[in-house]
A and B are shown apart, each in its own frame.
Chain A
Amino acid sequence: MNPTKGGWLILLTLLIGMLLMVVHFPETWPNWLGWLRPNWLLLILFFWVIELPHRIGLIAIWLLGFLVDGLLAAPLGTNGIILAGVTYVAWRFFERLRMYSVLQQCGVIFLLVAAAEAIRVFVIGISSARQWGITLFTVPLMSMLMWPFVYLILIRLRTGMRVE
């Protein structure tokens, strides 16, 4: 068995996740729709870590965080530590997380995304007067609701493409 099989699929899905983080509705639509954007990248990363923990490197994910910082105009290092932290937690408990029911996984997702959002808001708050508030609740909620769909799509891709 080729141990590095299907790495391109992991990369591709992570890239799609980054794309989904910046795709937006037409400008004429109300601004508050932006609050409802799930943290797609975190969902996709979480999936790959609990499915294939040996394929995801902590440093690689931390470096990917810099690209996300550029994308979301966050201070450098913010998303690095968020993504690496989520990777670590998922990786530490991947056996247990895999056995969880979808509902339990949704709960874990809610907590992880809420923590990620809290870190992001805190770090941005250091050097910026941007408002914050409702996203601390809406982003985790939407991520949680989207998790079953992300999981179903990715598990199909993973088995279909035989990513090991």
Chain B
Amino acid sequence: MIKALFVRETGAGYLLVGLGVISCLLIAIESSTRVLEPVRGVLATLISPIYLIAESPYLLSSTVSDVASSRSQLQEENQQLQRKILELSQISQQYVALKAENDRLRALLGSQGRLPYEVLIAELVGVVPDPNTFQIIIDKGADAGVQVGQAVLDAQGLFGQIVEVGQYTSRVLLVTDADHAVPVQVNRNGVRSIAGGNGSLDVLELENIPVSADIVEGDLVETSGLGGRFPSGYPVGVVHSVVVEPTSTYAEVLVRPSALLDRSRHVLVIFKPQAQVAEQNGDLN
């Protein structure tokens, strides 16, 4: 009896060491390559029901409030939306004219016209629970054509990018996550930089800005499109503070993100125009 127990226990010890070694190998593989991405996709599909159940109170509450709201409330909301549409359609009329003009000017300069981006509306269905990372789960996945690396926007600005795709859901890394960075330029004068997250939800940092750079408080920072991952021209944030230490080489520029990172429940996944995707794949090949 005692001997049998002893044998079993040493066996378990070896088994634990073996599993530990496999785990370490997997961690090493994942930290240096992307070969495990399909595996993560399968796992994401398997666990998506858990996220859906965990999020159901919030998903339900919005439905319930729709059902329970009174006629006058709905009418009021309807009127507000009508007004909003009117405003937006006025802006979009201007936009059409501006775009045509811009295309003409670009043609004069001999540069390529910009292609329109297609978008997919997605709803938030989960939040990754670690408070030191900002990631959310959205309800569109591989079956809607979502791919790793696509940019995600909300109504106000750049939200993040897709980092993992399951069959019906995908995971989005928000712009303010410590592991996220996005190439940007200042809307006013085109000064380029990289906006990285620093681990707090409402601050981005512009990296390596020389003290002489022309950036002031209130400047709008938008995606520059360099690097090819994010489409150019979407608002990222507004410069919140510029601190120049006399002793340091770089200015400390903090940006407040435009996107409502902790409020938005509906986001847009940006699809690149097919021509551009083919071009990029051609480059890679």
Q: Which residues of chain A have a CB within 8 Å of any CB of chain B?
A: 15, 18-19, 21-24, 26-28, 31-35, 37, 58-59, 62, 65-67, 69-73, 75-78, 80-81, 84-85, 88, 91-92, 123, 126-132, 135
Interface contact B39-A76, CB-CB below 8 Å: yes
Interface size bracket, B side: 35 or more
Q: A19-B54, A26-B58, A76-B36 are in contact. Are A81 and B30 (CB under 8 A)?
A: no
Interface contact A24-B132, CB-CB below 8 Å: no
Interface contact B53-A77, CB-CB below 8 Å: no
> Which residue of the partner chain A has the closest CB to B166?
A70
Interface contact A123-B46, CB-CB below 8 Å: no
Interface of A is mostly: helix
Interface contact B16-A88, CB-CB below 8 Å: yes
Does B110 belong to the interface (CB within 8 Å)? no
Q: List 13 A-B contacts (CB under 8 A).
A: A19-B50, A22-B128, A24-B129, A31-B131, A32-B131, A59-B19, A71-B47, A77-B25, A78-B23, A81-B20, A128-B178, A129-B179, A131-B178
* Stretch of B7-15, B74-82, B93-101, B214-222 that contacts chain A: B7-15
A93 to chain B, nearest CB (A): 11
Q: Which residues of chain B have a CB within 8 Å of any CB of chain A?
A: 9, 12-13, 15-16, 19-20, 22-27, 30-31, 36, 39-40, 43-44, 46-47, 50-51, 53-54, 58, 126-133, 135, 164, 171, 177-179, 199, 201, 262-263
A74 to chain B, nearest CB (A): 8
Across the interface, B132 reaches (CB within 8 A) one of A26, A71, A131, namely A131
Q: Chain A contacts of B201 at CB under 8 A? A: 31
Q: A73-B135, A129-B178 are in contact. Are A58 and B16 (CB under 8 A)?
A: yes
User: Number of residue pairs across A and B with beta carbons under 8 Å?
Assistant: 125
Q: Chain B contacts of A91 at CB under 8 A? A: 12
In the assembled complex, the Cα of A81 lies from the Cα of B17 at a distance in Å of: 9
B267 to chain A, nearest CB (A): 13
Interface contact B129-A131, CB-CB below 8 Å: no
Across the interface, B26 reaches (CB within 8 A) one of A24, A67, A75, A131, namely A75
Interface contact B178-A22, CB-CB below 8 Å: no
Interface contact B132-A81, CB-CB below 8 Å: no
> Which residue of the partner chain A has the closest CB to B21?
A81
Q: Chain A contacts of B132 at CB under 8 A? A: 130-132, 135
